[in-house]
A = this chain, B = another copy of it.
């Protein structure tokens, strides 16, 4: 690789001038600046960005903390973060935490030690365990639930859950089960609130035996299906807190000879690409994954630029997606 000496020689200026052209171009005459830049092109010189970044105290990298990036919902969010970051010269450092706070702490050190400028957190905020907010770390939460105590972008999980359960009720269902994510997950908590609100407003009594606690994986949805299949009083419809668990439950029902949606209706949450290709295709809630990633990155850039966002919480709209997994209650 060519070096700064060659650039100086080719441009006919001193090495100090070349250096200044990169670090402090305002202090270099227009004429010299042009000579340096031409020479840079000619010799194919690339300044040492890390050195440049050190001087500017910016690394132009952002850490994305993600609990599980084999989850297609998160990959959509991360992709949008990357697209937005690229437009502003920022790169993404991947921080898969697998829900380990120890590992999260290690990634946050990347900011403390200035290898990254800020953090986007994709896990919802759980107060008693949380490392963020942190006085020295610029952070934005994407995919938050209620009560994130720093800048966050989220959708309204309570009203989304409520709307899809209301849809099941409008189709005549009253024995509506719920496949939950882990109970201590704030998204599960918010969605359960929406589920309960919908039941209550329809005068349907909450029934604990219809709640199955999964962990957002297809395998746990399959377990849920097995659970409901052996109940004497089976639900006629199921609100699943994500698409993966709905897909798992459908698989289990087929194994038990229970037809979806003829014998039991089910809804998902997320609208993964697969939701169109399951049999039946899933009626679900589309989370605005791309918009969440984009907005979160925009907010972080604004914060890194020294400007405080106008509000702490940004709520984006979800969408109700009607497909084939629900039929009216037939009694």
Say yes or no: A113 contacts B50, CB within 8 Å.
yes
Say yes or no: A254 contacts B277, CB within 8 Å.
no
Question: Which residue of B48, B114, B218, B273 contacts A113 across the interface (Cβ within 8 Å)?
Answer: B48
Q: Give a binary string over A199-232; 1 marks a CB under 8 Å from any B CB, 0 the rest.
A: 0000000000000000000100010000000000
Task: Take A91-B110, A94-B92 as given contacts and tell me if A218 and B273 are in contact as well, using a CB distance cutoff of 8 Å.
Answer: yes
A318 within 8 Å of B (CB atoms): no
Say yes or no: A75 contacts B82, CB within 8 Å.
no
Say yes or no: A218 contacts B277, CB within 8 Å.
yes
Q: How many residues of A contact B (CB 8 A)?
A: 48
List B contacts of A273 (CB < 8 A): 70, 218
List B contacts of A49 (CB < 8 A): 110, 113-115
A127 within 8 Å of B (CB atoms): no
Task: Take A1-B112, A46-B109, A70-B76 as given contacts and tell me if A82 and B54 are in contact as well, using a CB distance cutoff of 8 Å.
Answer: no
A279 within 8 Å of B (CB atoms): yes
* A112 and B61 alpha carbons, distance in the complex (Å): 16
Please report whether the interface of chain A is mostly helix, strand, loop or mixed according to DSSP. helix
Task: Take A93-B92, A115-B49 as given contacts and tell me if A75 and B79 are in contact as well, using a CB distance cutoff of 8 Å.
Answer: no
* A61 and B136 alpha carbons, distance in the complex (Å): 22
* A96 and B276 alpha carbons, distance in the complex (Å): 25
Closest to A61 in B: B93
List B contacts of A296 (CB < 8 A): none
Say yes or no: A69 contacts B78, CB within 8 Å.
yes
Say yes or no: B279 contacts A46, CB within 8 Å.
no
Closest to A248 in B: B277
A53 within 8 Å of B (CB atoms): yes
List B contacts of A75 (CB < 8 A): 69-70, 75
Q: Least Cβ distance of A196 to chain B in Å?
A: 29
List B contacts of A64 (CB < 8 A): 94
A315 within 8 Å of B (CB atoms): no
List B contacts of A93 (CB < 8 A): 61, 91-94
Binding site for B on A (CB under 8 A): 1, 46-51, 53-54, 59-61, 64, 69-70, 72, 75-76, 78-79, 82, 86, 91-94, 96, 103, 106, 109-110, 112-115, 136, 218, 222, 247-248, 250-251, 254, 273-274, 276-277, 279
6 A-B pairs (CB sep. < 8 Å): A1-B112, A46-B109, A49-B114, A51-B114, A61-B93, A69-B78
Which 9 residue pairs across A and B have the least CB separation, nearest first? A49-B113, A92-B94, A70-B75, A46-B112, A50-B114, A251-B277, A46-B113, A279-B279, A49-B115
